[in-house]
Structure 1
Amino acid sequence: MTMDNCLLHMKEEVNADNMAQVAMICWSIWKARNDKIFNKIAPDSSKTVELAINMRTDWLSHQPPSTRTSSVPSDPSWTLPPTGFMKLNFDAGWSGEMGSGFGMVIRDDEGRFQIAATHYEDCILEPLIAEACCLRWALNLAVNWELDGLVVASDCQQLVKAFHCPADFPSLRHILLDCHQMVNS
């Protein structure tokens, strides 16, 4: 069973608050992995789990009492998808020296966390190209997971413009055509 399939299975079997803790554990593992690769720090599994628990506790302590569950995010600019849909948010991060990191999260029509994933590309990408590659990666995951009824959201206005007019962005054209094909599937 792949990690993707494992997380999808867990999403069906585990309540939202516990699934949020799983997300924190995955994030802690990612941080430990980055420390190993970039800082040559040997991972310590007990410290990784402790970090996840502390991050979750810290996050919850900063939420208003009425929102201390895994429901709607506190960011007022985030909006719920229409009823019956899920929302896929994605973002890319990059370093001019190391590579590019991709992340995505899917929430349901009540704002509850469903699934998240991260990916690292060991190559240097221009920021807009990294965002486009992140979109293609996230859509590919959604297709592989056989998810329907997705609203896709990005904070990169230039990528949104490029998605709607790929011909105006020759350097992104092939990536965006792949994205269009996945959206249409």
Structure 2
Amino acid sequence: MTALNQLVEWIEAQEKRGETNRTEHQVAWKAPPEGKIKINVDAGWTGTNSTGFGFVARSHTGALLAAGTLFQEHRLEPLTAEALALRWSMQQASELGMDSVLFESDSLSVIKSLRAESNYWTIQDITLDCLHLADNFLSCSFSHVTRKANVPAHILASLACKYQNRLWWDAPPAEIDHSLFADAAFS
């Protein structure tokens, strides 16, 4: 691992702990505007040698539209994992016919890369893929949120080893019921 990757990992860890300044301070999940779909995305580690991705798509009423997990049998470095989780969720949204989407991630580095505010060469190709995938939507935007505003996606990423590659449409796994209910109070 290069020194740059180690620095990015450290910065991401500090951001998640709340010890660095953020340009955005959304600390609770907020429903998207009517007509938009909000998709929260996260990557996590499901042991020492594997990586999981999770996403949760919800309407302006907070209703679950879809959720999913993807399991990777190898451990990816954090920045790459977060970028791949976003790309995968964009692919899922496109395949599910979602056309006006707001993507949220707790990885500030990935969001800055998508907005051309920073250039991380380790995820440059993934960032370009995401920007090309954005053309599949009528409307597509990317936002950074805190971990507290991304809880269901985080839980799903950590459960990817259990659920493997799975999609839910109407009845999500019980492990995220509480966090979905808590988020509904803020929508």
Partners of 1:109 and 1:95 lie apart in 2 by 31
Consecutive unaligned residues in structure 2, runs of 5 or more: 1-25, 137-187
Q: Which residue of 2 aligns with 1:181?
A: 132
1:127/1:96 CA distance change after superposition, 3 Å: farther
1:146/1:94 CA distance change after superposition, 3 Å: same
Partners of 1:82 and 1:160 lie apart in 2 by 20
Q: Which amino acid aligns with 2:73?
A: D
Match of 2:73 among 118, 122, 129: 122
Give runs of aligned pairs for residues 1-185 of structure 1, distance below 5 A: 77-94=28-45, 97-165=48-116, 168-185=119-136
More helix by share: 1
Residue 97 of structure 1: CA displacement?
2.4
- Which stretches of structure 1, 4 residues or longer, exceed 6 Å deviation after superposition? none
1:180/1:142 CA distance change after superposition, 3 Å: same
Residue 95 of structure 1: CA displacement?
5.2
CA contact (8 A) 2:109 2:118 kept: no
State TM-score, norm by structure 2. Answer: 0.56
Consecutive unaligned residues in structure 1, runs of 5 or more: 1-74
State TM-score, norm by structure 1. Answer: 0.56
Greater RCO (CA < 8 Å, at least 6 residues apart): 2
CA RMSD of aligned residues (A): 1.9
Residue 167 of structure 1: CA displacement?
6.8
Rg larger in structure: 1
1:133/1:149 CA distance change after superposition, 3 Å: same
Deviations 1:52-79 (A, max 9, x none): xxxxxxxxxxxxxxxxxxxxxxx96111
Residue 158 of structure 1: CA displacement?
1.4
CA contact (8 A) 1:166 1:173 kept: no
Q: Which amino acid aligns with 1:92?
A: A
Q: Which residue of 2 aligns with 1:42?
A: none
CA contact (8 A) 1:166 1:172 kept: no
1:95/1:137 CA distance change after superposition, 3 Å: same
Helix, strand or coil: the match of 2:121?
A: coil
Partners of 1:144 and 1:109 lie apart in 2 by 20
Stretch deviating more after TM superposition (92-101 or 175-184): 92-101
CA contact (8 A) 1:167 1:173 kept: no
Helix, strand or coil: the match of 1:147?
A: coil
